Amino acid sequence: MELSHVEENYIKGLQHLSTQSGKQVSTNDLAATLRNSAASVTDMLKKLSKKSLINYEPYQGARLTEQGNKFATRLLRKNRLWKVFLYQSLNIRWEDVREIAEELEHIKSDLLIDHLDAFLGYPKFDPFGEPIPNAQGKYTLRAQTLLTELRPGITAIIVGVKATESNFLKHISEKGISVGQTCTLISRDPYDGTLTLLLDRKEITLSGQVAKQILIKSTG
Amino acid sequence: MELSHVEENYIKGLQHLSTQSGKQVSTNDLAATLRNSAASVTDMLKKLSKKSLINYEPYQGARLTEQGNKFATRLLRKNRLWKVFLYQSLNIRWEDVREIAEELEHIKSDLLIDHLDAFLGYPKFDPFGEPIPNAQGKYTLRAQTLLTELRPGITAIIVGVKATESNFLKHISEKGISVGQTCTLISRDPYDGTLTLLLDRKEITLSGQVAKQILIKSTG
DNA sequence: AACTTTATTTAGTCTTATCTAAATATTATT
DNA sequence: AATAATATTTAGATAAGACTAAATAAAGTT
């Protein structure tokens, strides 16, 4: 089955929301993430239900079927592989990657995406630390420790970021942060939680608000 | 101005046809290349005319304005850069490249395309020998000698192909032909024009029908 | 339990891009 | 020049995806 660009975005939004909450996805929540009216969403839910991509009961919200989830995972794979390409091969800045990948993920060819995967060396994570499903849809979950949980004197590797808004990404790249780097916590301000870190031989400070969007894996 | 996917295809078709004929493009010709009905084409021509992308007089056909031509050339640039990427970086076969590039050319970001250009090393020609416009829209025309004009004993470089149907491309790649290769004409059959060539130390034969789709540049 | 608020769906429109059939221009032919 | 053939446009419909406003269902509150 061939999905339209728009149908794909609905499927993607459904997977995103139900992965977060674990529950049925409500019409309003989906409308909010897609920036559409609830009425439009209702129409599309009926359509996707007729195509067996979701289970949908009026007033009860929707959830992807197994088949729908397969489609969504394939989109995730495409999106994340393109992100790797944009960031690593083309040197496009962190904060510009997301918008472009959102267009590229709709390119249909499976041949293309498998060749891209091979070209990139079958990466397991994208530049934001999100796992990349393989051609069979399998992927490894990433570590989920927050930078705010790091203890003073301890060293860790930055493995991902939770937020993706371009201003946030710009902020932290200006501080010199990127995925794969090693950092050591020097101190945490007891009043507002501001962190002082050693990163790439330089001392930097990060507000608690920012630090809780950053994921780490402790070394050792 | 932002063009829709569909508008872009019309602009592309218009440039293609008027470059070939040098004349105004007729509704029917455009309908044939886009595989649409003439009625649909008439509607779109009115729309593009209102946007000042074409000059259009009912019953007299259409032609791109300077602005329209700029858009079309930008599409050509994107299409051909993606072709280089698909063929050279991803090792996708000649005959599969065109279809994928036709989807990729609609991705909007200029940032993306300029980074792609740099990544590929600012190529001047695509894998079919077509010139690639630079960011300012300038490009060098390619040599236009046909392989059928080559004299026996003379050596030349294959610089392009005129046809792009996937069966043709598959046929010649199976014979071992690709752009950039050197070949020497051994003989031409006086009855049906079949050519015998020395290519990569092997002797191959090509029908006249096929040979006249291949472009060469003589060496020396 | 009745009422209020919130969420969701239905009804009716709009836009874009397509189509077929009918009407009208243009071009070619006798 | 009149007629036949061809090309193009107009008219009217359709499908996808969006919207607003109105109706209805579900959840929350007194």
Contact state of A104 with B107 under an 8 Å Cβ cutoff: yes
* pLDDT tier for residue A217 given thresholds of 50, 70 and 90: confident
φ, ψ dihedrals at B56, nearest 5° = -140, 125
**What is the Cα–Cα distance from A130 to A141, expressed in whole angstroms?**
8
Helices (H) and strands (E) in chain A, counts: 8, 8
Cβ within 8 Å of residue B103, ≥6 positions away: A107, A108, A109
**What is the Cα–Cα distance from A147 to B177, expressed in whole angstroms?**
56
Strand, helix or coil at B111? helix
**What is the Cα–Cα distance from A7 to A14, expressed in whole angstroms?**
11
- Residue at token pair 């400070």: A205
φ, ψ dihedrals at B162, nearest 5° = -85, -40
Question: Are A55 and A65 contacting, i.e. CB atoms less than 8 angstroms apart?
Answer: yes
User: A93: distance to nearest CA of chain B, Å?
Assistant: 10
**What is the Cα–Cα distance from A179 to A161, expressed in whole angstroms?**
8
Compute the half-sphere exposure of residue B182: CA atoms within 13 Å on the CB side of its CA. 7
CB atoms within 10 A of CB B180: 11
Could you list the protein residues whose CB lies below 7 A from any atom in strand D? Answer: A 4-7, 35-37, 39-40, 43-44, 47, 59; B 26-29, 38-39, 41-43, 45-46, 56, 58-61
**Does the pLDDT value for residue A87 go beyond 70?**
yes
pLDDT digits (tens, 9 = 90+) for B193-217: 899 999 888 899 999 899 999 999 8
pLDDT digits (tens, 9 = 90+) for B99-158: 999 999 999 999 999 999 999 999 999 999 899 999 999 998 876 789 998 889 889 899
**Does the pLDDT value for residue A35 go beyond 80?**
yes
| Run of H or E residues at B57 | strand B54-57
Give me the pLDDT at residue A220, please.
Answer: 62
Question: Are B76 and B15 contacting, i.e. CB atoms less than 8 angstroms apart?
Answer: yes
Give me the pLDDT at residue B199, please.
Answer: 87
**What is the Cα–Cα distance from A52 to A1, expressed in whole angstroms?**
11
Q: Does B86 touch chain A (CB under 8 A)?
A: yes
By C-alpha distance, which of A179, A215, A172 is closest to A83? A179
